[in-house]
Structure 1
């Protein structure tokens, strides 16, 4: 009973609303200190044990209750007085607890854990009011309140003949967890759908990258100068032509067609005389065959025979 200044649990309220739980706490703490006989009739406790127990009881009582029972020095007498005053709480709480038990259904809760928490709370209130809540009663309550769509599942659990509610509860928790895994797998990939093959996925990514994006110079459908990271530039015919020389643009004449840019130096098509790179010996052969003579300033004169 050392460190009496600190509270071991909630004090008894002046209204007595927490009397039932307070009684359980007092019994447990006195029993842990080997003083449980103090609150029994005709006990053989010593004077020191009586003083220690009365101090502990008064320390966990409301200040107004301490004042009302200030003259009581025997812990057993104080215990009996509080019992006569607040023991009627059992009659108050019992009908409400029985009503909550009757309306308790597994199908009304979103999870098994939420249902089990509510069941244990109601069971504790019934036990404090003097009612017996056996393991069989808990099991029957759970299996009889399944959703109508799961009646067959409830019958399967009945056939397993559980004797402890804890065994049934653990089975329900495992089944609920497995059901959640199945639902998540179905939502991620519905039944009948096949996953995208890795090879096709890579090809698809390469096609998208080649059509709409450039990762370096000269790649993709859209061309531009320099590197573009995550961006693309549309193909512009007018701007692209600016980078081509006039001779290169005129060389793209259709095959078999006639063009006007004929080189009078070598007689070949596709370039002008000032851009001619034909070897001199071929130029001389061509000019001698055509009877051409040079004029000043690089011009040519045709002499007809």
Structure 2
């Protein structure tokens, strides 16, 4: 029975103080051998990486968010990474500058031709506020 807080702390530290020395090597090993591809879901990977990072931080071995992102990106299987890049390239090839509104255009005519064909006033001769409100100089 110990009643003095300082003496109690010293006893607890003597008994459990080695806890960090035991946890650190295993956490470093787990960090080194952590591969994104080894998990069935992103949630499982995310849970495991946060658990390891928590233990490392507890053991005074902090891990930054940048290191976590780098770890994730570098542990993709090289073929998976290449396949992903290929899929992205096939969807939107390098050098294509098509934006969403161009991709969704319904006509190849210029806007003023569409307005004229619909019986409108054309692109620059509209009334009121908004686009097409240009009236010339002055």
1:100 aligned counterpart, secondary structure:
helix
- Displacement of 1:95 in angstroms is 0.8
CA RMSD in angstroms comes to: 1.7
* CA distance in 2: counterparts of 1:78 and 1:137, whole angstroms: 38
* CA distance in 2: counterparts of 1:80 and 1:130, whole angstroms: 20
Structure 2 residue corresponding to 1:126, chosen from 56, 76, 90: 56
Report what 1:103 is aligned to. 33
Q: In terms of Rg, which structure is larger?
A: 1
- Displacement of 1:74 in angstroms is 2.2
- Displacement of 1:130 in angstroms is 1.6
Structure 2 residue corresponding to 1:142, chosen from 41, 61, 72: 72
Which portions of structure 1, spanning 4 or more consecutive aligned residues, are displaced by more than 4 angstroms?
none
With normalisation by structure 1, the TM-score equals 0.26
Report what 1:12 is aligned to. none
* CA distance in 1: counterparts of 2:70 and 2:14, whole angstroms: 36
With normalisation by structure 2, the TM-score equals 0.55
Q: How many matched pairs?
A: 84
**What residue ranges of structure 2 are gaps of 5+ in the alignment?**
86-138
1:110 aligned counterpart, secondary structure:
coil
Report what 2:110 is aligned to. none
Please give the per-residue CA displacement for 1:155-178, whole angstroms capped at 9, x wherever unaligned.
Answer: xxxxxxxxxxxxxxxxxxxxxxxx
**What residue ranges of structure 1 are gaps of 5+ in the alignment?**
1-69, 155-305
